[in-house]
Amino acid sequence: MHGPTPRPASFSAPGPLRGTIAVPGDKSISHRSLMLSALAVGESRVEGLLEGEDVLATAAAMRAMGATIERGADDVWRIHGVGVGGLLQPEVALDMGNSGTSTRLLMGLIASHAITATFIGDASLSKRPMNRVIEPLSLMGAEVTPSPGGRLPLMLRGLSPAVPIEYRLPVASAQVKSAVLLAGLNTPGITRVIEPIATRDHSERMLRGFGADLSVEQAGDGARIISIRGEAELRPQHIVVPGDPSSAAFPVVAALLVPGSEVTVTNVGLNPTRAALFDVLRMMGGDIEFTNRREVGGEPVADIVVRHSLLKGIETPVETVASMVDEYPVLFVAAALAEGRTVARGLEELRVKESDRIAVMAEGLRAIGARVEELEDGLIIDGTGGDPLAGGATIAARLDHRIAMSFAVAGLVAKAPVVIDDMSPVATSFPGFTALMTGLGAEAA
């Protein structure tokens, strides 16, 4: 995990950003590819895996439970799995670092195995709510002993055979949905998750790809009903991970904001349950084109060409919050430079990410001269109409990669430096961020 020494930095743009880049592999798909490969018998190969700290935490945990996971000299990861139901008792605590996805999905996997695991994490992860997964997994028979408030560190004792459930998600969360589906994989009978609001569907796509019997139906009220038949046998796969749209968001917004810029980001995953940011930026007047549309590893992919644009404030759609949930911090930076008012609501979930992203963005944007009002469930931002922000402040990244990268982008359009107190959390999801940005013409100090 990233070390204890903070790495401060500030970013500026002496001229337009120009060039063609590829961002690292999708974090959500990378986690799932390791987990499912580790449950298939035989060798799976994964190309384009995100080699970020969050995904490496998942790899270490799967190794601790018996899988063989190796990165070849050809950059391809090779995984030999243990078979569904075959996870071994880990001898050490599972260190989840900064990663909510690792924690919640692995809690699901372990819940239907007769093993006991202790989950630990960093200061940020140890503040995040786990009751949302503890509740359904307890219904399936797991016994969980969390720290006060349903937090890490926690101990989870799985049950095999576990009890299949039908569970209606009380929060729009792909992590909770996936935890229940992964628990269902080794549970006799049918486990069902009802999802009133669509969240990222990588688990469903990949479970099917590995041969699990999974179906999705639409209920009368528009909810998705996802059913998985347990005690499945998974077949090893060859997975090609597309570029992460949540990472592409940073150079895309940077190119929209820095005058004269034109940037192409190649091979970006555009799964409709992930890609709403680009639609919202277009609604704001952003010049964003998709070229070379294709399918990679069962996911829609395209190259994104983006040119500097004067953005206009909007009311962001509430229906697609889940499809761009991690992109709001950088969208707020875009809104701070737009003409007029942006109102973004329905964002309660942002308060329980790596940091309270509503409060931290409001405070940081104000410190660099933006006009921001904080609401319980979002922000109201009155933009500058394209004028640079004042800058001249140090922002605490609070162990939150997306906060660090959002203020790196803000620094590109500020008169005085925007110092991020610690860029090291960026290694959780976007190793190489600084090099990619400087390659486009930004300066990092």
Ligand X SMILES: C=C(OP(=O)(O)O)C(=O)O
Ligand Y SMILES: O=C(O)C1=C[C@@H](OP(=O)(O)O)[C@@H](O)[C@H](O)C1
Residue positions forming the annotated binding site: 27-28, 32, 100, 128, 173, 175, 326, 353, 357, 402
Closest among 399, 409, 418, 166 to 306, alpha carbons compared = 409
176 Cβ neighbours under 8 A, 6+ residues apart:
104, 132, 133, 136, 169
Does 124 contact ligand Y by CB under 6 A? Answer: no
Instruction: Pick the binder of ligand X from 33, 99, 191, 237 (CB under 6 A).
Output: 99
Could you tell which of ligand X, ligand Y, none binds residue 354, using a CB distance below 5 to 8 A set by kind? ligand X
Minimum distance from residue 322 beta carbon to ligand Y (Å): 7
Q: Per CB under 6 A, which region of 5-13, 170-178, 229-237, 296-304 contacts ligand Y?
A: 170-178
Q: Per CB under 6 A, which region of 97-105, 165-173, 203-211, 220-228 contacts ligand X?
A: 97-105
Beta-strand relationship, 414-420 and 389-395? parallel
Nearer to ligand X, 314 or 405 (CB): 405
Does 274 contact ligand X by CB under 6 A? Answer: no
Minimum distance from residue 441 beta carbon to ligand X (Å): 26
| Sheet with 116-120, edge to edge strand ranges | 94-95, 116-120, 151-157, 143-147
132-136 long-range CB contacts below 8 Å, 24 or more apart? 132/104, 132/170, 132/171, 132/173, 132/175, 132/176, 133/104, 133/107, 133/108, 133/175, 133/176, 133/179, 134/107, 136/165, 136/167, 136/176, 136/179, 136/180, 136/183
Could you tell which of ligand X, ligand Y, none binds residue 309, using a CB distance below 5 to 8 A set by kind? none
Nearer to ligand X, 30 or 342 (CB): 30
Minimum distance from residue 352 beta carbon to ligand Y (Å): 8
Does 326 contact ligand X by CB under 6 A? Answer: yes
Could you tell which of ligand X, ligand Y, none binds residue 429, using a CB distance below 5 to 8 A set by kind? ligand X
Nearer to ligand X, 34 or 82 (CB): 34
Q: Per CB under 6 A, which region of 73-81, 172-180, 255-263, 414-422 contacts ligand Y?
A: 172-180
3-state secondary structure 167-220: EECCCCCHHHHHHHHHHHCCCCCEEEEEECCCCCCHHHHHHHHCCCEEEEEECC
Q: How far apart are CA 278 and CA 304, in angstroms?
A: 9
Beta carbons within 10 angstroms of residue 94's beta carbon: 23
Minimum distance from residue 309 beta carbon to ligand X (Å): 25
Does 402 contact ligand X by CB under 6 A? Answer: yes
Q: How far apart are CA 263 and CA 34, in angstroms?
A: 31
Distance set, CA 114 to CA 2, 69, 88, 91, 109 (Å):
32, 22, 9, 14, 11
Could you tell which of ligand Y, ligand X, none binds residue 200, using a CB distance below 5 to 8 A set by kind? ligand Y
Minimum distance from residue 213 beta carbon to ligand Y (Å): 21
Q: How many residues bind ligand X (CB under 6 A)?
A: 9
Distance set, CA 357 to CA 269, 399, 433 (Å):
24, 11, 20
Instruction: Pick the binder of ligand Y from 62, 159, 174, 249 (CB under 6 A).
Output: 174
Nearer to ligand Y, 2 or 357 (CB): 357
Kindly identify the residues of this chain, within the stretch 36-65, that bind ligand X according to CB under 6 A: 54
Instruction: For residue 172, give the amino acid letter.
Output: A
Helix (H, G, I), strand (E, B) or coil at 324: helix
Does 428 contact ligand Y by CB under 6 A? Answer: no
- Strands (DSSP E) along 72-206, which ranges? 77-80, 94-95, 116-120, 143-147, 151-157, 166-168, 190-195
100-111 vs 27-37: helix axis angle to the nearest 10? 30
Minimal CB distance residue for ligand X = 100
Q: How far apart are CA 237 and CA 386, in angstroms?
A: 47
- For the chain, the C-alpha Rg in angstroms (whole number) is 21
Q: Is 244 a catalytic residue?
A: no
Does 326 contact ligand Y by CB under 6 A? Answer: yes
Nearer to ligand Y, 135 or 287 (CB): 135
Could you tell which of ligand X, ligand Y, none binds residue 28, using a CB distance below 5 to 8 A set by kind? ligand Y
Does 58 contact ligand Y by CB under 6 A? Answer: no
Instruction: Pick the binder of ligand Y from 28, 264, 316, 320 (CB under 6 A).
Output: 28
Contact 315, 286 (CB under 8 A): no
Nearer to ligand Y, 199 or 264 (CB): 199
> Which residue out of 26, 201, 244, 326 is catalytically annotated?
326
**Token code pair at residue 136:** 């359904």
Minimum distance from residue 105 beta carbon to ligand X (Å): 9
Task: Tell me the catalytic residues.
Answer: 326
Residues lying near ligand Y in the complex (CB under 6 A)? 28, 101, 173-175, 178, 200, 325-326, 349
